[in-house]
Chain A
Amino acid sequence: MYMNTNTRIIAPEFDFAQPKSLDEGFALMDEHGADARLIAGGTDLLVQMKMERISPAWVISLARIDELRAITAGKGLSLGAMASIKEVSVAAPVKAGYAALAEACNAYSTVSIMLMGTIGGNICNASPAADTAPALLAFDAVAVVKSARGSRRVAMADFFAGPGKSALKPGEILTAIELPEPAAGSGSAFLKISRVVADISQVCVGVSLVRDGDRITDCRIALGSVAPTPIRIAGAEAALGGQKGGDAVFDKAAEIAARDIKPISDARASESYRRHAARIIVRDALKTAWQRAAEGAAK
């Protein structure tokens, strides 16, 4: 297949619009349908357009819709889809209550890409390697999706449909990502393995658990770069629910995760390496989250 590898310019022409309100954005999306692509930070989309993997007739920027940038904490946390990865990484409520998400944002490529890339763009791009996805899955986040016809809420577990495919339907815009308030005794952690910091992950994991004394009362474990979409590992979560926390059960859950993922071999890592690395980082992330949950309870 012909593949343009010249990335100096965007060769195909397109029209460009910067709506100032969501309603204006919906009207443009409805008018141009499948010919239009939304652009957020552009760190993924423009590179794909240079390589002619995507050649939309219209590019619609969300950068001028101010309401999409807000990060608001109340009961839980709402992240505007256009909040930059950097803004999310330094937001006080993220650092205080959602450690795995702060860590995922800090592991997200380099500083200049963190400044340009957005939380909404990261998940709408629907890469199996999206760094924020395992963290958002571990927190049971919900995507708030709006269109001219109304709004709906999509659980993060239902948001990823395949490599590059999200649950968004034509005319819809992701406006925010909502994270529920962490239960008392919660702890979380995110770990990523990549060749250098600028690379996407070979494997990454986000975990969140609730600790009651020496028991794990709730747990979510999600991995990236190990399947066609970021995924939760139900078997590993079930192995921990109600158990006494400790190295033995964390090792067991990590083994199940390494077994149940469906990694491929590609330029970044082999299948066997991904399984090996997944087992280690799942175990380590669980230990860290467990420790953090204890520290939280002590306060």
Chain B
Amino acid sequence: MIQVKMTVNGKEKSGEVEGRTLLASFLRDTLGLTGTHVGCDTGQCGACTVHVDGVAVKSCNMLAAEADGASVDTIEGQAAPDGTLNAIQQAFQDHHGLQCGFCTPGMVMSAAALLKDNPRPSEAEIRFHLSGNICRCTGYHNIVKAIMAASGQDVSAIAAE
């Protein structure tokens, strides 16, 4: 077993993992942070997206031991402690940016990473950035709208359906 320590959503966490333990499993099964979803498990769908030292990564495709010492942010750390949604989450709600919700944690985390680097992305930049996040309800237009809105931009130009 390997001892790992990481800062998860600002709190020190530690645990014992096997070499084969995926970061997604450590977050979900050991820490109980089940907001990080596991969809395809082959690095394609993006539902498991979290930030490791500020970089958006697919946590099903990283060993927990590789994140030892890192700062990890998950969907659970996005809202304020009193439950107030952050700007991206609120925009997803306002613009109906989710249907079944399975992909949403990954979408929000990918969007957060995009807006950190590029505070006013174009629609094309948003779509390119989200190409690694798959929504099986195919509600992409409203997801793009939500991210445009969260970055303080006009959403009226985006296709309606």
What is the interface of chain A, defined by CB distance below 8 A to chain B? Answer: 7-16, 18, 39, 42-43, 46-47, 49-50, 59, 61, 63, 109-113, 115-116, 197-198
Contact = CB atoms under 8 A, between A and B. Distances in A.
B89 interface: no
A42 B66 contact: yes
A112 B19 CA distance: 23
Interface in B103-126: 110
Main secondary structure of the interface of B (DSSP, over half): mixed
Given A13-B18, A42-B61, A198-B131, A113 B66 contact: no
A179 B61 CA distance: 30
B33 interface: no
Contacts, number: 84
Given A42-B61, A110-B131, A197-B131, A16 B19 contact: yes
Interface of B: 2, 18-20, 22, 25, 38, 40-44, 46, 49, 55-58, 61-63, 65-66, 68, 110, 128-129, 131-133
A111 B128 contact: yes
A10 B63 CA distance: 10
Given A46-B62, A47-B42, 16 more contacts: A7-B40, A7-B41, A18-B66, A39-B66, A46-B43, A47-B61, A111-B110, A111-B129, A111-B132, A112-B58, A112-B110, A113-B43, A116-B58, A197-B128, A198-B44, A198-B132
B140 to A, nearest CB: 13
Contacts of A13: 18-20
